[in-house]
């Protein structure tokens, strides 16, 4: 059975809780996903594209609690879910069992408080506890805040995916491939 519940004091003295999701979080998680999707052009979905029902979100929570190959955490401040992160095995194929990937999304009002740093650290810790060798991600080349956060932990850029996203105005975003070697 998974367990994770940590409380931190942030730079502005507010209390952050990082924890596993639980039943009852469905609406809070849906709200958080919808909010962050509408606030940034750096995530895979645009505004209005996240359409999980309460039942789908409930199933997502149940699945993530039972999946030992993945860790999904919510970030909560004053009882409100304001962010989430996920880290997990890239694939269960034997040849990929050394690799993990991660994602992170925090609502804009809560950026620059150190929350992303705490979440990345927990994703890295999970990989180390799982004995994994490398943690990988893709990040829009213009997302300097995220890139700086990953570089602080030693992530390296090893390539670029051209035109990874196309926005509704016809412009494109490229993505960097980043990797952290965990045994270095």
Ligand X SMILES: CC(C)(COP(=O)(O)OP(=O)(O)OC[C@H]1O[C@@H](n2cnc3c(N)ncnc32)[C@H](O)[C@@H]1OP(=O)(O)O)[C@@H](O)C(=O)NCCC(=O)NCCS
Using CB under 6 A, which of 80, 152, 163, 166 touches ligand X? Answer: 152
| 73 binds ligand X, rule: CB under 6 A | no
| 82 binds ligand X, rule: CB under 6 A | no
Residues between 33 and 52 that touch ligand X (CB under 6 A)? 40, 42-43
Q: Which residues contact 51 (CB under 8 A, 6 or more apart)?
A: none
Percent composition of the chain: helix, strand, coil (DSSP 3-state, to 5): 30, 35, 35
In the bound state with ligand X, the residue whose beta carbon lies nearer, of 55 and 78, is: 78
| 116 binds ligand X, rule: CB under 6 A | yes
Q: How is the beta sheet containing 15-19 ordered, strand by strand?
A: 5-9, 15-19, 70-77, 80-89, 99-106, 134-140, 172-181, 156-166
| 14 binds ligand X, rule: CB under 6 A | no
| 106 binds ligand X, rule: CB under 6 A | yes
Contact between 122 and 100 (Cβ < 8 Å): no
Q: What are phi and psi of 32, to 5 degrees?
A: -65, -40
Number of residue whose CB is nearest ligand X: 116
In the bound state with ligand X, the residue whose beta carbon lies nearer, of 49 and 68, is: 49
> 12: which 2 tokens?
């502005």
By three-state DSSP, how is residue 93 classified?
Answer: coil
We find the least distance from the C-beta atom of residue 55 to ligand X, in angstroms, to be: 26
For residue 144, what is the enclosing H or E element? helix 144-152
Site stretch for ligand X (CB under 6 A), options 63-71, 126-134, 135-143, 157-165: 135-143
Site stretch for ligand X (CB under 6 A), options 1-9, 21-29, 55-63, 141-149: 141-149
In the bound state with ligand X, the residue whose beta carbon lies nearer, of 132 and 139, is: 139
Contact between 93 and 129 (Cβ < 8 Å): no
Residues that bind ligand X (CB under 6 A): 40, 42-43, 104-106, 111-117, 137, 139, 143-146, 148-149, 152
């Amino acid at each position: 059975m998974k367990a994770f519940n940590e409380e931190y004091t942030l730079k502005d003295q507010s209390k952050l809780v990082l924890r596993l999701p639980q039943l009852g979080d469905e609406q809070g998680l849906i709200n958080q996903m919808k909010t962050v999707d509408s606030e940034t052009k750096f995530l895979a979905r645009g505004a209005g594209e996240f359409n999980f029902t309460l039942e789908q979100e409930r199933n997502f929570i149940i699945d993530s609690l039972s999946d030992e190959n993945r860790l999904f955490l919510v970030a909560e401040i004053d009882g409100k879910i304001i962010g989430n992160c996920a880290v997990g095995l890239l694939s269960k194929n034997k040849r990929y069992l050394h690799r993990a990937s991660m994602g992170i999304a925090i609502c804009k009002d809560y950026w620059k408080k150190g929350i992303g740093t705490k979440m990345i650290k927990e994703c890295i810790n999970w990989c180390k506890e799982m004995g994994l060798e490398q943690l990988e991600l893709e990040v829009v080349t213009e997302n300097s805040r995220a890139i700086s956060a990953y570089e602080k932990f030693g992530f390296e850029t090893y390539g670029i995916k051209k035109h990874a996203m196309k926005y509704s105005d016809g412009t494109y975003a490229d993505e960097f491939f980043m990797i952290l070697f965990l045994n270095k």
